[in-house]
Structure 1
Amino acid sequence: MSTETAAVDNAPHTPAEAWRALQDGNARFIAGEKLHPHQDAQRRMDLAQSQKPFAVIFGCSDSRLAAEIIFDLGLGDAFVIRTAGQVIDNAVLGSLEFAVQVLGTPLIMVLGHDSCGAVTATKNSVESGELPTGFQRDLVERITPSVLQAKRSGDADLQDMVVEHTKQTAARMLDQSTVISGAVARGEAAVIGVFYHLADGKAELVYSEDPEIRES
């Protein structure tokens, strides 16, 4: 067996296994005991011709939300997509579909975080009635439904709005992509929403339709 095949065979293969691997990495990060796995020259060589990441992490572009660091990952482990406020557009959906359909990635994580600047800007716009200029307006308009839903539920706190937006983003990709929803229906993939706490580094599960993941 080649080293490349061994690397793939040792990776998580199911959504629940992938989530446990990410939880373990996050626990190491919190404890300051990171292993920095899969970051050596051999790993680089093994992945030169192909990749098979076990997770897609679609997160906010915030500089404090570096997925490979907070989950203690290495080369080839995660397919990472980032936009401000983890806002979905067609390019994001195409990238997510590529990871699921072509790379066979079993887990999609939507990663939000407290004190999110994009959600803060949206909250301010909703409350003031004033929209930002330029393409920032597009971000605010896409996040507005989540802020309004949080307000309707009585959760006017910014962090509750981020959690609501994380949940809605995860649900929205299932509604908009038949590739992703089909993989989920067949049990080949799962979509989860995770809320990251900047101060303590904890990644908290806030959305999952997979019972095995919810109970983990």
Structure 2
Amino acid sequence: MCNDHADPKVTRRHLMAGTLALAAAGATLSAAQAQTSEAAPATPEDALQRLMDGNARYIANAPINIDHSVGRAARAAGQQPFAAIVSCSDSRVAPELLFDQGPGALFVVRLAGNFINEDGLASLEYGAAVLGIKLIVVLGHSACGAVDATIASIQDNTLPPGHLPSLVNAIRPAVYEVMPSEPENLLAAATAQNARSNAERAQTQGPILAELAAAGNLRAVAAHYEIATGTVSLL
């Protein structure tokens, strides 16, 4: 998350004030323009389309981002990711691969269960206000062990050992929200609801993210990754 080209005093002042002035982040962005041959997406919708196009290439086994040495020197000068991905830590879920994006294109926040805690929220604020990301994707996935463990904890009325209860407590609201409807596949329903709830938080949490979203400069969406097929579907 380091950036040698941003003025730390300006960055801290604007982040603490919750203003939108750093959305431009001129010095940071200009330092990283050479990272990719593609122009930075102009809108959140453009950013989403770029991700979905990349996923289509991944499914077709026709990636274009295969030479990671290209742009290495430029990346040392700064970063300009166009989207943030809130992803599960599951080893089978690799955002850069499944969206066919090269180094420097995605700002990834990962932890088991792909929920947004205070640290994740701060990371997304940095990505949006300082790095200029246009889009946040909260990406759930099939056979999520963290959601499955939360369901088991609720059904058995027990908590897992160690620090795992913190994961269960974060995911629990999504499970409770879908349980009354008695879905045929509780794991799938809870996984989807967990992604939706966290995407909503990413777009409405003030002051920084909510202000950017209200101005049309940021969008958050929920999505689901099917491991067996490689397909990302918007929820």
Tell me whether the two structures share a fold, i.e. TM-score over 0.5. Answer: yes
The whole-number CA distance in structure 1 between the counterparts of 2:85 and 2:121 is: 13
- The alpha carbon displacement at 1:122 in A equals 0.3
Any conservation in 2 of the 1:15–1:106 contact (CA below 8 Å)?
yes
The whole-number CA distance in structure 1 between the counterparts of 2:77 and 2:35 is: 15
The whole-number CA distance in structure 2 between the counterparts of 1:31 and 1:121 is: 33
| Equivalent residue in structure 2 for 1:115, among 130, 139, 143 | 143
Give 1:182's aligned residue. Answer: 211
Give 2:52's aligned residue. Answer: 23
Residue correspondence of structure 1 range 57-76 to structure 2 within 5 A: 57-76=85-104
- The alpha carbon displacement at 1:169 in A equals 1.1
The letter of the residue matching 1:80 is: V
Task: Note the residue ranges of structure 1 that are not aligned, 5 or more in a row.
Answer: 207-216
Give 2:61's aligned residue. Answer: 32
| Equivalent residue in structure 2 for 1:13, among 37, 42, 55 | 42
Is 1:141–2:169 an aligned residue pair?
A: yes
Any conservation in 2 of the 1:36–1:72 contact (CA below 8 Å)?
yes
The whole-number CA distance in structure 2 between the counterparts of 1:8 and 1:102 is: 22
- The alpha carbon displacement at 1:87 in A equals 2.3
Change (3 A) 1:6 1:96: closer
Give 1:80's aligned residue. Answer: 108
Runs of 4 or more above 4 Å deviation: none
The letter of the residue matching 1:113 is: H
Change (3 A) 1:135 1:176: farther
Across the two proteins, how many residue pairs are aligned to each other? 205
Task: Note the residue ranges of structure 2 that are not aligned, 5 or more in a row.
Answer: 1-29
Aligned partner of residue 211 in structure 2, secondary structure: helix
TM-score, normalized by length of structure 2?
0.82
Superposed CA offset, 1:91-116 (max 9, x none): 11110000000011100010100100
- The alpha carbon displacement at 1:12 in A equals 1.5
TM-score, normalized by length of structure 1?
0.89
The letter of the residue matching 1:107 is: L
- The alpha carbon displacement at 1:9 in A equals 6.7
Worse-matched range after superposition: 152-161 or 71-80? 152-161
Considering only aligned residues, what root-mean-square deviation do their CA atoms show, in Å? 2.0
